Amino acid sequence: MEITSLTKFWHLIHSVIQEFWAITEPHIEDAAVHNNIPIELYYYGEFGLNNFSIEEFQRRDPFSNPEQFERLFPRLEIKGWIIPMRDEGRYEVTEKTRGAVRQIIQAGDSHLLKFESATDINLERLLSFLKQIVLANNAAPEPPEKWAIEKRFHVANKNSPVIVQIRECLMDIFAYHDDAHLSAARPHFNQAGIVWSVLGAVATGGAVTAEQMAETMSFRGYDSYEYEAAIKAAIQVGWLEAADVAGAFRPTQQGRTLREQVEKLTDDYFYAPWATFSSNELDELYNLLTKLREQLHGFKKSI
């Protein structure tokens, strides 16, 4: 099966995950507030809930300002969510934390049960496909380096409702896509993830000035002056150039070519484990995922 015939799947998978988030995350946030649990712990679950450190967090997220993690660690330590280890800057996550994160995620998952009872989608068949992908990802040779897929915190198990197991499998696939992308891209930016973010923002048209980047990527924790420095770095390596509008930038041919090469390598890594699927199975999987996205969207509007 050619990779080009598979590339439509990632956008669909990501959009299904977004529909799950739209249903579950408001309830996760409510449960966190009600139980006095820092909501950051829910998000950090994707980095793993064994140890916290800047170095480990940046293995999954090299694009955010590490200072925002560094500022939070002492607050989590004071409340007993994490415990300092002998290695400076490294913390052990407590069992209390894992239990709390499990509790709030399950609060979100509980709102999927009504959907499971009402849908006409063959959820068991879809779960079988997704489990096959996850198992194939785990068994695939490196690259990509398997960091996210091995570290992320799991809540669902074989006894969980089928729709919850589907959500968990999709998050595993999401993690493997991050592994694939970072294995493809990191050799080009090393520790300067903000420079790669700048190239991506300009190339997609999402933001073409430092001020726009600070606004549209505020969750990354960087200010406009830091994006200005990153833009200068991207110009120096030949990825960006000044655009016709003052203060705006555009990718150079070198920058565009590099992004295309990284996206192709990401796809090569990500879809390689799918080789066992037949064309008919892929069509069935695509149709099941499409129906799930549409019905989750309709379900969200009805509640």
For residue 87, the model assigns a pLDDT of 87
**Ranges of the chain whose pLDDT falls below 70:** 1-4
**Domain for residue 159, yes or no?**
yes
Buried-exposed string 24-36: b where 16+ CB fall within 10 A, e elsewhere: beebbeebbeeee
CA distance 302 to 142: 43
**pLDDT tens per residue across span 38-67:** 999 999 999 999 999 999 999 999 999 999
Q: Which amino acid belongs to residue 151? A: K
Q: Which residues pair with 84 in a beta bridge?
A: 91
Structural domain harbouring 23: 3-188+261-302
Burial of 144 (0-12, 13-18, 19+ CB in 10 A): buried
**Domain for residue 213, yes or no?**
no
For residue 4, the model assigns a pLDDT of 61
* Joined tokens for residue 28: 């996760």
For residue 6, the model assigns a pLDDT of 93
**Domain for residue 205, yes or no?**
no
**Domain for residue 206, yes or no?**
no
**Domain for residue 216, yes or no?**
no
CA distance 124 to 248: 50
For residue 5, the model assigns a pLDDT of 82
For residue 180, the model assigns a pLDDT of 98
**Domain for residue 253, yes or no?**
no
For residue 234, the model assigns a pLDDT of 98
Are 214 and 94 in contact by the 8 Å Cβ rule? The answer is no
**Domain for residue 25, yes or no?**
yes
**pLDDT tens per residue across span 68-107:** 999 999 999 999 999 999 988 999 999 999 999 999 999 9
Number of domains the chain contains: 1
What is the number of residues in the chain?
A: 303
CA distance 220 to 61: 10
**Domain for residue 17, yes or no?**
yes
